Amino acid sequence: MYNQLLVITGPTASGKTHRAVQCAKAFNGEIISADSRQIYRGMDIGTGKDLDEYQNVPYHMIDICDAGYRYTLYEYLRDAATARHDIESRKHLPILCGGTGLYLESILNGIQLPEVPANEPLRASLAGKSLTELTEILASMKTLHNTTDVDTTKRAIRAIEIQTYYQQHPEQAKNTTPNPEKNAVIVGVDIDRDSRRKRISQRLFQRMEQGMATEVERLIQQGVDAENLIYYGLEYKYITLYVTGQLSRQEALSNLEIAIHQFAKRQMTWFRGMERRGWHINWLPWDMPEDEFVDSVSTLLHTTATE
């Protein structure tokens, strides 16, 4: 079974980590996080790391770089591949767990990216352009399948920088040709909209009680630029705006709650897109009894196993 890849995914607040831990215990597995913010040290409450939940299950791709750093997809794919090789070398089952669709699908597609250096002259020429203008430039260079590359001007400029590099180095672009996983089992934790919204709201207020605002204040005091925290979005965006006096506590919480609900909807849109693009997601109920969930995953693993 160790030569397979098990993916546990689903929208935020669906209980993915708990299910991944159950599977890791049952199948001698180790977890590779596919969460774009849990990689940062010190960003614990806002990202919901809940490290105690892993108990004695080994995990990877959590707390691997300092808050404030702009970790790239190239780095994620490189480091996740290293973690997976380490897991498989010990004949354990790699379990990819998280809700960052770009990370999940890139790994499933077997994408390998070259390290694209900064192009300062290009960045200077793009400085000052609006997000709409940058989006149009990027759309003229490649087909935009989603809005991940253009949700901020900085990301749009980086995306243009990468596409420019590929145009100038076509031999590197060839290396990005997908090599899809042939032995992956994808399990989605299916949670109904009302339960999801309730869990999101409950979790948000729990995190505030746990000291999420204090966590953001500490990060800023440690030298993390407030703009970098805002860049990470969701909890770190709105709580940073609160602790820096740009929003009241109530405004921050209200706006954040809406933003998380919208984020969950975008995640589901991504998963539906994955299914349209040929990836079969086996949806299992979020409140399924533990033994039934594990048994169902076991059946899926054995059914799809190849020699």
Looking at the structure, do residues 279 and 154 belong to the same domain, yes or no?
no
Closest CA to 148 of 80, 98, 102: 102
CATH number of the domain residue 72 falls in: 3.40.50.300
Looking at the structure, do residues 156 and 259 belong to the same domain, yes or no?
no
Work out how many domains the chain is built from and give that number: 2
Which residues contact residue 19 at a Cβ distance below 8 angstroms, ignoring those fewer than 6 apart? 8, 187, 189, 293
Which of 159, 174, 189 is where one domain is finished? Answer: 174
- Tell whether the torsion through CA atoms of 235, 241, 242 and 248 is positive or negative: negative
Closest CA to 190 of 23, 16, 53: 16
pLDDT score at 304 = 84
By three-state DSSP, how is residue 92 classified?
Answer: coil
- Tell whether the torsion through CA atoms of 232, 223, 74 and 50 is positive or negative: negative
Confirm if 96 and 88 have CB atoms less than 8 A apart.
no
The model's confidence at residue 231, banded by pLDDT at 50, 70 and 90, is: confident
Looking at the structure, do residues 184 and 106 belong to the same domain, yes or no?
yes
Matching residue, tokens 């597609």: 109
pLDDT in tens, 73-91: 889 999 999 999 999 999 9
pLDDT in tens, 238-286: 999 999 999 999 999 999 999 999 999 999 999 999 999 999 999 999 9
Looking at the structure, do residues 47 and 91 belong to the same domain, yes or no?
yes
Cα dihedral value 224, 226, 230, 236, nearest 10: 70
> What is the C-alpha to C-alpha distance for residues 54 and 29, in angstroms, rounded to an integer?
12
Other Cβ atoms less than 10 A from the Cβ of 141: the count is 14
Q: What is the DSSP letter of 147?
A: S
> What is the C-alpha to C-alpha distance for residues 291 and 284, in angstroms, rounded to an integer?
13
Cα dihedral value 131, 135, 138, 143, nearest 10: 150
By DSSP bridging, strand 5-9 and strand 184-190 are: parallel
What is the extent of the structural domain holding 185? 5-112+178-304
Looking at the structure, do residues 142 and 259 belong to the same domain, yes or no?
no
* pTM of the shown model: 0.87
Looking at the structure, do residues 285 and 240 belong to the same domain, yes or no?
yes
pLDDT in tens, 126-176: 999 999 999 999 999 987 765 656 667 887 898 899 899 988 988 777 667
pLDDT > 70 fraction of the chain, expressed in percent and rounded: 95
Looking at the structure, do residues 216 and 99 belong to the same domain, yes or no?
yes
Looking at the structure, do residues 153 and 108 belong to the same domain, yes or no?
no
By three-state DSSP, how is residue 95 classified?
Answer: strand
Confirm if 96 and 107 have CB atoms less than 8 A apart.
yes
Q: What is the DSSP letter of 116?
A: P
Looking at the structure, do residues 168 and 183 belong to the same domain, yes or no?
no
Closest CA to 201 of 150, 155, 258: 258
Looking at the structure, do residues 140 and 71 belong to the same domain, yes or no?
no
> What is the C-alpha to C-alpha distance for residues 135 and 143, in angstroms, rounded to an integer?
11
> What is the C-alpha to C-alpha distance for residues 151 and 232, in angstroms, rounded to an integer?
11
